[in-house]
Every structure is written in C-alpha cells, then in structure tokens.
Structure 1
Amino acid sequence: MLSSTLKSALLTIALIAAYAQSIVAAECTREGLLSAAYSYLAAQSTGQLSALKLSSTNFTYQQNNKVSDIAKGLLSQSYKIDLNRSTADTVACASYTMWISSTGSKPYVVGTQIRHHDNDTSEITMIDTIAATTGDLFFNAKKTLDYIKAEDWTTIMPASSRPSRDVLKAAGDAYLDMWTDAKAADRIPWGTDCERVEGSMYTKPCGGSLPRGGSKKANGMRRYVIDEEAGSVDVLCQFDSLGNMPDSHEIRIVAGKVKYVHTITVGRVG
C-alpha cells in the first residue's frame, strides 16, 4: 500500500500537471487566431455563418460601431474577395483582417477585428467590422485594390528588428491624435518611402500635408490589434474629429519607420 506521504506527493504532482496543462490549453496562439480569421473569410465568401465557431453565451457582432444582428449584417451575404490579409495579436487574443471586394453591384473595403475570451481561440466572442462602400470617404475599391496588392507584407526578420508593442501602439495613437494635438505628427517615425492609402486616395511620402490640431473632439472608441511580427497596428475607432464616423487606421512600421498607412472610413466629411 502507498503511504500517506507518497499519496500526497503523487496528488501534488497530478495537480501541478493538470495546472500546467490548463495553462497550455489557455494559451492564445498565432495559429489559433489566424485559423479563426480564415474561418471568418470563408464565412464571408460564402455567406454561411456555419463556418464560424461563435460563442453560444458571450458573442457580440458590431458593424460600423453599432451592435447588430449578425444574421442581418455583412456576413449574411457572399462576396467575391479579391484580396485579404490578416494579422494576429497574441496578447489581446485578437486578429485583424482586411478584405476587398471590387466587383459586383456593391463593392466593399472592410476591416474586421475578431476577439476571443480567456485565450480560447476555438470560439469567437466578438466580430467587430468597419465596412466602407460606394459613397463613403474617398471610396474606390478597384483603386484601393491596385495600391494594396502591390505592397510587401513579408514577416519582419530578424525578430530583433521588429517594432515593440509599445512603439506600435504609440504610432497608432499619435496618428489619431493629429487632429487634436499640433505636435502629434512629430511623434510618428515617418519613412521617406512611406505610402498612405486613405480610402482610394494615395499619398507618398506619408509625412507631408498632415493635420496639426484644430479639432476639439478626440477620436474615440479605440480598439487595437497589434502584431509585432508584421510590424503593424490596427485601430478601429470613431472618427469624432471630423464627424463621428466609423473608421479603421492601420499602420505598418519597418526598420523603425512607418512604411504603410491604410484608412477605411464610413461616411463623408461634413
């Protein structure tokens, strides 16, 4: 028979092993985040929600900053996706997916953040979408497609050269602060070859003709997906500085400098 001391030791070992296993199971992985993002793209391309593993107890669908019925939103229709790209944030357990549909009667340029609870990427707890279409600010899906498909989004190597999470978040915040803070633009590490695509309006280099304050309303409702491997930060927000518009701003930093800026804005200024 096992002694009480040995039994106690074995029980302790078993508990430690179970705890370690639970930590591993709860780890938010890049692979899990991207798998969920790909399931979202599959659902969008078919218009079939069955491709998504949504939380049965804790799910929210938000489209253009309004909580909505997913069965009546963009995902209820199928779209031919001409281009897509996804990034992953293992700290926030969230992903960002951009997709463009340039054909059909209603083209779209869309930015979507997908979130998971308790580091469990097997279920989706939130789909948060900014969807711009004909009539929105600078919208032209075909032009946007041509600009973005020419970009280089190769994983930044070596890992030691990737921008930190703090640097990426600071760049995203500084960009959105330019409309209220005259000095915000100077806090952004602009690259001389930076390309900015605002809707379908192309600017190179990015660092010229920037806002220098003037608005009293800060851009709010900021939600972040930060991916150090891609050197990117996406911020979904409410663009209050120019008129309460749903908006996505994505920035990529390579070799310490801003390389790309993308904006998706729903509505028109004024």
Structure 2
Amino acid sequence: MLYSTSLSLLALASTAHAACSRGFLQEATTAYLQAQSAGKISILSLASNVSYAENNTPIDIQKGVISEAITIDFNRSIYDTVQCATFTELTATSSHPYVIHTRILYAEEKIRTIESVVTDTGDWAFNATGHLYWTKQETWDQIPEGKRDSRTVIQAAGDAYLDQWGAPSLPVPLGTPCARLEGGFYTAREDSISLQANTCKMGAFPQPLKVGDRRYIIDEELGAVDIFNGFPWLEQSKPANYSTPSSNFFKVGDGLIRYIHEITVCATPRCGL
C-alpha cells in the first residue's frame, strides 16, 4: 500500500531528529489536550509542512477531529524522548462518544506529524462508557529507575503479542494477572465468566494474521509502548489483505505485559461480523 510506505518513511524520518526532553513533551501534550478540548489547532505549534492523518488516511487538518471541540473525560499519555514523540489515549462519553489514540512527532519543537486512530459508534467492540470505567481502574505508575525495562524489551513484548496472531505457537510474555481492554470489553471484570478472565490471552483466529504497518511510541519510565498497526482479515467488506486501522497500547513491567488497550476502526458496523 502506498500510504503504508509513506508511514514507514515518516517513522524513519522521525528517528533522524535529535532527542528531546520529557518536560518538553509533557508541555506539548498539555497543549494538544487543550487544542482538542477547544477544537482550536491554533493552540498547537505546527511545522509549515505538518502531516496529518486519521485512520491511515491523510486529510486536511482543518477538517480533522482535532478541529472538533471534544469534552475529554479521561486521558493517558506516554513520552518517547528518543524519537521526540508522544502518544495519547483519550476517552469522551458526551454528545459524540470517542476513544482516540494519537501519536505526535516533533522536530525543532514543532509538530511534524500527527496520526490518530479515531473510533466511535460502529467500530469494533466500541463502548466509550465502558472504556472510561475500566481504564480509570488501572494503575500505570512510573517505574523506579533501577527496575525499568529497556526500549528493546518493551517493544519486543508488544511485538510478541501481535506476532502470535500469525504464529500461535510463539511465546508471549504475559503477566499474571493481565487485563485487556478491547473497545469497551474488559477481561478483568469481577463478574466475568469467560475462560479469558484476568488474562490477556487471545483465542485462535480462523487464519494466521500478519500484522504490518507497525509504528511505535515507547516510554521506558512508564514501561509502555503503543503500536499503530494494520489489522488484516477483520473487516468483512474488504479483501482479506486489507489493513484495518488499529492501535495496541501496552503496559509492561519486568518484561511482562500487564495491560493491553486495543481500538480498531471498522468500515462497516462491527466490521460486518
């Protein structure tokens, strides 16, 4: 896919920029949240050639969801000082419910790239109220310096989870317990009678899935990684090799996955399933 190639080039370009401070990224994230809440992109420090995309489609930033005032009920962010990039998950339950994952890449203290996976009614397992309730129950604390995993270990944990979709025999470093929040469905519900309760294990797919177009934001201090990716097979209105826009957000500690948040966009209600 042409756009997939463009995304890969953007990811490579981002690593060429100098690292930046955590303080800068935290301030930049505050500005992003203010801009999204007000629907005013003028709050943001944008590069003249800023790239903006939603659900793997480049669009005019003036017409994007970022230009829509959204009442944000909860948000969680991570900071990648190596790539000079941020990731933010936000949940909104008001007049137009959303769960949005956004990655932003900076250079010379200006935004060069914004990409969002935007989910709302009809998307896979979407339930903003459920998402809000469960995400607020979780603890994503900063990890003491001497106990932090390396970027390599954190990324490998997330990759292993996605790789297993194509090769079920591959090991995945899942912690015990581990909770998976998929749209509004949660595996750690106290009333769950599922065999998957309190675990992040996935059942087998009807066919092996190769998850491509992976783009990473990694935060060693929080032990977290988000992976934007293309989820194949799920959307029934598209060919089997179609990549459905998706994002997987992982909390990792001692090399083990503790939480997973997944949002997935559908071209048709519930992807036709």
Would the TM-score normalized by the shorter structure come out above 0.5?
A: yes
Which one has a bigger Cα radius of gyration?
Answer: 1
- How far off its partner does 1:81 sit? 0.3
Runs of 4+ in 1 over 6 A off after TM superposition: none
TM value normalised by structure 1: 0.83
Partner of 1:20: none
Partner of 1:182: 168
Of 189, 207, 211, 1:215 maps to: 207
Cα distance in 2 between the residues matched to 1:38 and 1:241: 36
Question: Conserved in 1, the CA contact under 8 Å of 2:19 and 2:84?
Answer: no
Deviation track 1:157-183 (CA, whole Å, cap 9, x = no partner) reads: 1x1211211111111111112221122
Cα distance in 2 between the residues matched to 1:72 and 1:207: 37
Partner of 2:126: 139
Of 78, 85, 95, 2:86 maps to: 95
- How far off its partner does 1:199 sit? 0.4
Cα distance in 1 between the residues matched to 2:200 and 2:229: 22
Q: Which moved more, 1:68-77 or 1:171-180?
A: 171-180
Cα distance in 2 between the residues matched to 1:164 and 1:206: 24
TM value normalised by structure 2: 0.82
Q: Compared with structure 1, are the counterparts of its residues 94 and 241 closer, same or farther at alpha carbon in structure 2 (3 Å cutoff)?
A: farther
Cα distance in 1 between the residues matched to 2:208 and 2:253: 32
Partner of 2:265: 266
Instruction: Return 5+ residue gaps in structure 2 as ranges.
Output: 1-17, 189-197, 236-242
Partner of 2:59: 68
Written as runs of structure 1 = structure 2, the 5 A alignment for 1:80-159 is: 80-104=71-95, 106-117=96-107, 120=108, 122-157=109-144, 159=145
| 2:23 counterpart letter in structure 1 | E
Cα distance in 2 between the residues matched to 1:134 and 1:179: 26
Question: Conserved in 2, the CA contact under 8 Å of 1:180 and 1:214?
Answer: no
Q: Does 1:161 align with 2:160?
A: no
- How far off its partner does 1:211 sit? 4.0
Q: Which moved more, 1:173-182 or 1:245-254?
A: 173-182
Instruction: Name the SS for the 2:115 alignment partner.
Output: strand
Partner of 1:40: 32
Q: Does 1:194 align with 2:178?
A: yes
Instruction: Name the SS for the 2:210 alignment partner.
Output: coil
Partner of 1:79: 70
Cα distance in 2 between the residues matched to 1:155 and 1:95: 16
- How far off its partner does 1:140 sit? 0.6
- How far off its partner does 1:216 sit? 4.7
Instruction: Name the SS for the 1:248 alignment partner.
Output: strand
| Pairs aligned (count) | 237
Q: Indicate the RMSD between aligned Cα atoms, in angstroms.
A: 1.7
Partner of 1:253: 252
Cα distance in 1 between the residues matched to 2:177 and 2:134: 14
